Amino acid sequence: MRDIAFIFFLAAVVCVTSGMGCGIQMAISEDHLLAPAHAHLNLVGWTTLALFGLYYRLTPAAAQGILPRVHAGLAILGVAFMTPGIAMVIVGGSPALASAGAILTLASMLLFLVTVARYGLGAAA
C-alpha cells in the first residue's frame, strides 16, 4: 500500500484536476454561479491536502500509525462532501451536505493541529 503522503497527494491532484475542469466549464459557459464550490475544491482539496502530504513526507514519525489514516479519511471526506454541498446550497438545496463536509474538514484540521503540536516539523535529529 502507498504511504500516507502519497494518499494525500493523489487526492490533492484529483481535486485540482476536477477544479480545473470546473473552472474551464465555467469559463466556456460564462456562468460562474458555482465559483464558491470551485474555489473550495481548489483551496481545501488541492492546497490543503497537498500541504498535509508535504508535512507527512517531511515528518516521517507523524506518518506512522492509524492517526494519519484517520486524518486522511476525515480530510478527503470533508472535501468530497463540502464541495458538492456548497454547489447544492447555491442552487437552492439543503445545507446538510456542506455542513457535514465543513465539520469533517474542521475535525481533520484539529487532528492535524494535534499532530503538528506532538511531532513538530521535520525528521527528528
Do the domain assignments include residue 114?
Answer: yes
Task: Centre a 10 Å sphere on the Cβ of residue 14 and count the other Cβ atoms it contains.
Answer: 17
115, part of any domain: yes
State how many domains the chain has: 1
In a domain, 89, yes or no: yes
Full domain range(s) for residue 55? 4-119
Query: Is residue 42 domain-resident?
Result: yes
**Could you tell me the three cell numbers for 57?**
513526507
Q: Cβ contacts of residue 98 below 8 Å, gap of 6+?
A: 81, 82, 85, 86, 88, 89
Domain-located, residue 125 = no
> Does a structural domain hold residue 124?
no
Considering the chain, what percentage of its residues have pLDDT values greater than 90? Answer: 95
Task: Note the pTM of the prediction, 2 decimals.
Answer: 0.93
% pLDDT > 70, the chain: 98
Mean pLDDT along residues 111-116: 98
Dump pLDDT digits (tens) for 3-27.
999 999 999 999 999 999 999 999 9
4 exposed, middle or buried (CB, 10 Å; 0-12, 13-18, 19+)? buried
- CB-based contacts of 81: which residues, under 8 Å, 6+ apart? 97, 98, 100, 101, 104
